[in-house]
Amino acid sequence: MKSSGIALVGLGLLLLLAWSGTYTLTENEQAVMTRFGEPVGEPISSPGLHLKMPFADTVNRFDKRWLDWRGDPNQIPTKDKKYIWVDTFGRWRIVEPLRFFQRLRDERNAQSRLDDIIDGETRNAIASFPLIDAVRTSNRAFDDDEYMAKAEGDAAEEPVSIGRDRLTRQIRDRAAAVVREFGVELVDVQVRRINYVDEVQLKVFERMISERRRIAERSRSEGAGRAAEIRGQRERELKSIRSEAYRKAQETTGRADAEAAAIYSDAFGKDVEFYQFLTTLEAYPTAIDRSTSLFLSTDSEFYRYLKSSQK
Amino acid sequence: MAKDQTPFGGGPGNVDPREVLQELWRDLGRARHATGWILLGIVGISLAVSSYAQVEPDEVGVITRLGRFTTTVEPGPHFRLPFGIDQIIKVPVQRQLKAEFGFRTENTADRTTYAATSQDMTRESVMLTGDLNVAVVDWIVQYKIKDPYKYLFKVKNVESMLRDISEASMRAVVGDHSVNEVLTTGRQQVADEAKLALQELADRYETGVDIQQVVLQDVNPPDPVKPSFNAVNEAIQEKERAINEAYAELNRVIPRAKGEAEETLQAAQGYAIDRVNRAKGEANRFASIRTEYTKAPDVTRRRMYLEAVQKVLKQAGPKVISDESQKGVTPLLHMEGIALTPAVSAGTAEKALGGDKSQ
């Protein structure tokens, strides 16, 4: 009985030893071992079951995954003195857990250090470039309708000198260099949101409204212009159609008249005297009607026989 | 051992501690027999429960043994090592997941309703365009988990990271388009580019997520500016209307004028044909008459003359025939007395007579 009791105790001790002498790491963990507070050995990053010195060693676990950092939305003036809210976020991870453990101890501390560093770099970067560089990435031309596009004589927009991508990369590079000594790798800083501060926003809205009004007026005036143009075109076409018809009609009748004249002269020219005789005779009945009084002489061919039948 | 003795150790030494212990052991044995079975049952059940897992059809199971990733398993029943040695994490890889920006769907049961817009949602959707204007863009991102391992183990707070990079990439793309493009012509392009940018970021951050679609929902100018955007649309309509009306007037007048022109032309051609035909006819007639005339000019001439005079005199008014040789009043001759009323004929005759007298 004693032996079974001892076995029980032994088993308990063994279990305790096993419990204290092993630990597991999950896929997203890494660890630094400390023996009575003093770091020992290389940091452990492979997941699974591991051994340690029972009771003496402490496992300090750290996250191995990409961690997020969110900036405090910040009111920053740009180089061209426009006040904007800039809201940034970043991705980082603990690459040297030992150093991280020594310098920062835990993630909460790390977050607050990152706040200081990245917010500062963001402020620097935003303040040293005009707003357009924080908004646009490239100088691509807008594909706008002609009347949507800016009118001529507008202040030309500043070209993008470095653009959003390179601006954020600059923030990232500078901040990353600083945080490296904490055992932290900062892989990316991105601008999540940029907005005008309220007072500026009101001004921007006013500008947008006036811009729209201008576009509307321009469109209206263009409409009136086009309409006038079309009316002019109508008038021109009308005149051209009518005058052309007149011209062609005149030409046609002229040609016909000429042809007729040629026919007449051709025919009548063969015997002008006879033509005159014939035409005159034919003209008499139409020229003389009931209202015409005639004084005739018996000398005339017609009446001569009234006087005499002589030849 | 001392503990066992204490309850009985108080009495005189007539009880053999060894016997007591043995008896106790036997009692314990009986009790142990019953509780043993119960314990065994509990252990067995928990063994069964903790070693069985079921993966639903739209999921895969990711298995870790003592924290280490071992394998992923397909849908169906699965057995694993019990008591938390093997962990199974189910990841819905087949499911189309959705993130909404600028609005939230509240209820899709029978009619889709949307949550009231909060300050935070407004902040999500207000963004600066490339021409430094402001647009309000609502959009959704649809995605699937393509790599459960990365999805689970590479990123902390994947969902919130996805939201962050969605906002960042949408703003980057909108920031490179004019407000007009974002509102009208460039919508599809913005969505496409945002999808590409988002996928790139999602891959860079090892989220293990496949972006299926980025769809722009409502895209509006900010509320205070909306009326003036509408005014632009109205102005464009007005422009179209003015142009259409002018064209209508053009279309009303021109075809008619063309018809009228054709009318004039046809009339002129008619005139021409008429004129030429007449000329030809007359010429031919003249030629025919002349042909006959030349055969017997004298007779024909006289005949024609007399015929003509006859015709003329037949229809002419009062006629006075005088005889030059008589040098006096010529007797009146009413060639066509019947055709004249007596008074008129007499009057005219007298007048004529008088006129003659005065000579």
Could you tell me the pLDDT band of residue B327, with boundaries at 50, 70 and 90? Answer: low
Q: What local confidence, expressed as pLDDT, does residue B86 receive? A: 79
Check pLDDT > 90 for residue B38: no
CB contact under 8 A, A256 and B304: no
pLDDT at B269: 93
Tell me which residue in A261, A268, A295 faces B320 most closely, judged by beta carbons: A295
Spatial CA neighbour of B348 closest among B323, B312, B318, B328: B318
Residues of chain A with C-beta less than 8 angstroms from the C-beta of B330 = 298
Res A165: pLDDT = 87
pLDDT tier at B342, thresholds 50, 70, 90: very low
- Rounded to whole angstroms, the Cα distance separating B57 from B76 reads 7
Q: Are B70 and B64 in contact (CB under 8 A)?
A: yes
Highest-pLDDT range among A53-62, A159-168, B171-180, B331-340:
B171-180
Query: d(Cα B121, Cα B102) in Å, to the nearest integer?
Result: 5
Q: What is the mean pLDDT of residues B125-152?
A: 90
Mean pLDDT, rounded, of chain B = 80
Task: Report CB contact under 8 Å: A208, B228.
Answer: yes
**Which A residues 193-222 touch B at CB under 8 Å?**
193-196, 201, 204-205, 208-209, 211-213, 215-217, 219-220, 222
Q: Residue A28's closest chain B neighbor by CA?
A: B153
- pLDDT, mean of residues B157-167: 89
Rounded to two decimals, the ipTM of the complex is: 0.72
Q: What is the pLDDT of residue A243?
A: 94
- Give the pair of three-digit tokens for residue A153: 């004589």
Q: CB-based contact (8 Å) between A263 and chain B?
A: yes
Q: Which residue of A has its CA nearest to B307?
A: A281
Q: Is pLDDT at B346 greater than 90 in this prediction?
A: no
Q: What DSSP character marks residue A72? A: P
| Residue B49 CA to its chain's centroid (Å) | 57
Residue B356 has pLDDT above 50, yes or no: no
Question: Is the model's pLDDT at B347 over the cut of 50?
Answer: no
| Top-confidence residue, B101 or B49 | B101
| pLDDT of B57 higher than 50 | yes
Which residue of chain B comes nearest to A245, CA vs CA? Answer: B261
Going by C-alpha positions, the residue among A68, A93, A62 that lies closest to residue B160 is A68
Which of A211, A216, A249 is closest, CB to CB, to B235?
A: A216
Among chain A residues, CA nearest to B130: A136
Q: Taking a C-beta distance cutoff of 8 angstroms, is the pair B173, A135 a contact?
A: no
pTM > 0.95: yes or no: no
Instruction: Check if A68 contacts B (Cβ < 8 Å).
Output: yes
Mind listing the pLDDT tens digit for each residue in B224-277?
A: 998 998 888 899 899 999 999 999 999 989 999 999 999 999 999 999 999 999
Q: Which among B68, B290, B319 has CB closest to A271? A: B290
Task: Give the closest of B153, B204, B319 to A294, CB-based.
Answer: B319
Q: Give the residues across from A84 on adjacent strands.
A: A76, A196
**What is the Cα–Cα distance from A259 to A254, expressed in whole angstroms?**
8
In tens, the pLDDT along A147-191 reads 555 544 444 567 788 888 889 999 999 999 999 999 899 988 988
CA dist B31 → A3, B26, B36, B42, B257 (Å): 21, 9, 8, 17, 121
Residue B74, Cα to own-chain centre: how many angstroms?
44
Q: What is the pLDDT of residue A132?
A: 87
- Whether the pLDDT of residue B179 is over 90: the answer is no
Among partner residues A135, A256, A257, which is closest to B175 by beta-carbon distance? A135
Q: How many CB atoms lie within 10 A of CB A62?
A: 23
SS3 assignment, position B117: coil
B156–A66: do the CB atoms touch at under 8 Å? yes
Where residue B6 falls among pLDDT bands split at 50, 70, 90? very low
Residues in chain A closer than 8 A to B160 (CB atoms): 68
Which band of pLDDT confidence, cut at 50, 70 and 90, is reported for residue B93? confident
pLDDT (tens digit, 9 = 90+) per residue, B190-204? Answer: 999 999 999 998 998
Instruction: Tell whether A303 is within 8 A of chain B (Cβ).
Output: yes
pLDDT at residue B244, rounded to an integer: 92
Which of the four pLDDT bands, split at 50, 70 and 90, describes residue B109?
low
pLDDT, tens only, A227-245: 999 999 999 999 999 999 9
Question: Residues of chain A whose pLDDT is less than 50?
Answer: 151-155
Mean pLDDT of B15-29: 76
Asked if A241 and B261 come within 8 Å (Cβ–Cβ), the reply is yes
CA dist B80 → A122, A194, B64 (Å): 50, 50, 10
